[in-house]
Amino acid sequence: MIKGVCSTTLKNKPFLIIPHPFNDELFSSWLTRVAYAHHFHPQTFINLFFGIKNRGLFKNNVDAHLSDQMIRNIENMVHNKINIFKLTLRSFSGILREDDIIDSPSIFLCKLRFCPHCLKENIPYFKYQWKLAFTTVCIKHRCFLQDVCPNCKTPLNIFKMYNNTLSFSYCSQCGFDLKKSPTKNIHSKFKTSMSAMDIFHQGLYQGYIQLGDSIIYLFCFMDVVTQLSKLILSKRNFAFLHTHPLFLLLNSAIKKTIKSSQPIHIQLNIVENFALFGLILYLFENYPNNFAKFVSMNHLTHWDMIRDLRHISFWYETLVNSISPKYVAFGNMVTNEEIKHARHYLLSLGKLENKANLTQLFGNINFFNKYQLHR
């Protein structure tokens, strides 16, 4: 591969060769294959066609950060034959997140993962699902995905090449053939939990999921997933979940100090994420009974369930309120008419109409301070 060429003659010029992207291919994967087709090292290709000043735009999670202007530029460079926006993770804005993913890319995005078996098939490429935190297993090959080279433990960087010669199906650090990575298959007792990932993926395509008779926008549900992740691991509410087989996979995570100020998924490994997302979906099985048991057995209040949510969707507030009603600060105020009848009632029983006896009836002594009563 050609590397180290410095020239401005190709800047903003149309690509000479334009490989067609796969239906589920990630933008960075496609762009790297374009560079290979031109026999350029990916970083050299970026420098030549986009300019050295713009090479920083292709770092730091370019699949989520690619700007509208750069997307238009690239579409012009491919003669508008490819919808570049659809290759980026920004295409899930309004689905995975209500706002543009470019504004909060760390919420449900993760390091690039891969399936060794998938890389062996036809032309190797990387799928957009492999950048989503809840995609922890390969449905087709029934194995856990991986996010580091098994030989040297280096995270993937597909814009780099080992010795400037080996493609992105090899580790850029040590040259290990990622297609030969040993795989960890899903244990039979966990295979039913793989349906959780199917629900997330189906939600990506539909824009919503269905719980009972309720149709819920996926971004509303993902906000709740974030909240439940904190309640389970950061706040350590394990009751009801502790009997599920998946809970065993969280043994190491439970021993960690999980910070609620950071996305929970980035503090876990792939197997732990598999367990966490599976357990959260388990809460919505037999809807809403499992969820109600979780709230009740962990003694969670309405405030516990909603406290970290920026926006509370109607379906979730209705669900939580049906299990743990919202406390209204003045919801148990006592009217003058009720006080009058209570005093008559106490007198009829031969009891003093004092604060102590009224408190037994109404439950809050502060309501009676304005009355001239004896204790």
* Pair 126, 254 in one domain: no
* Pair 74, 165 in one domain: yes
Q: What is the pLDDT of residue 157?
A: 93
* Pair 111, 87 in one domain: yes
* Pair 371, 291 in one domain: no
Q: What is the pLDDT of residue 152?
A: 97
Q: What is the pLDDT of residue 261?
A: 84
Q: The dihedral of CA 250, 115, 195, 217: what is its sign?
A: positive
Examine residue 4 and state whether it is found in any structural domain, yes or no: no
Tell which phi-psi region holds residue 80, choosing left (phi > 0), alpha (psi between -120 and 50) or beta. left
Query: Which residues, 6+ apart, have CB-to-CB distance to 15 below 8 Å?
Result: 34, 38, 49, 77, 78
The number of distinct structural domains making up the chain is 3
Tell which phi-psi region holds residue 256, choosing left (phi > 0), alpha (psi between -120 and 50) or beta. beta
Question: What are the CA-CA distances from residue 339 to residues 54, 298, 336, 356, 367 (Å)?
Answer: 74, 37, 5, 13, 10
Q: What dihedral do alpha carbons 193, 197, 203, 205 form, nearest 10°?
A: -140
Examine residue 132 and state whether it is found in any structural domain, yes or no: yes
Examine residue 107 and state whether it is found in any structural domain, yes or no: yes
Question: Final residue of a domain: which of 276, 293, 317?
Answer: 317
Examine residue 222 and state whether it is found in any structural domain, yes or no: yes
* Pair 90, 163 in one domain: yes
Examine residue 139 and state whether it is found in any structural domain, yes or no: yes
* Pair 174, 213 in one domain: no
Q: Give me the residues of the chain with pLDDT under 70, please.
A: 1, 4, 104-106, 327-334, 355, 362-375
HSE, side-chain direction, 13 A CA sphere, residue 247:
13
- First-residue to last-residue Cα distance in the chain: 91
Residues present in the chain in total: 375
Examine residue 16 and state whether it is found in any structural domain, yes or no: no
The span from the CA of 34 to the CA of 41, in Å, is 10
Question: What's the pLDDT tens digit per position in 244-290?
Answer: 999 999 999 998 888 888 889 999 999 999 999 999 999 999 999 99
What is the extent of the structural domain holding 120?
27-180
Q: What is the pLDDT of residue 293?
A: 96
Q: What is the pLDDT of residue 375?
A: 46
* Pair 153, 220 in one domain: no
* Pair 156, 39 in one domain: yes
Q: What is the pLDDT of residue 370?
A: 53
Q: What b/e string do you get for 13-36 counting C-beta neighbours within 10 Å, with b at 16 or more? A: eebeeebebbeebbbbbbbbbbbb
Tell me if 270 sits within 8 A of 145, measured CB to CB.
yes
Examine residue 190 and state whether it is found in any structural domain, yes or no: no
Q: Which helix (H) or strand (E) holds 77?
A: helix 68-77
* Pair 93, 155 in one domain: yes
* Pair 123, 236 in one domain: no
* Pair 348, 275 in one domain: no
The span from the CA of 207 to the CA of 92, in Å, is 9
Question: What are the CA-CA distances from residue 3 to residues 10, 46, 54, 273 (Å)?
Answer: 15, 11, 17, 38
* Pair 212, 308 in one domain: yes
Examine residue 17 and state whether it is found in any structural domain, yes or no: no
Q: Which helix (H) or strand (E) holds 216?
A: strand 214-217
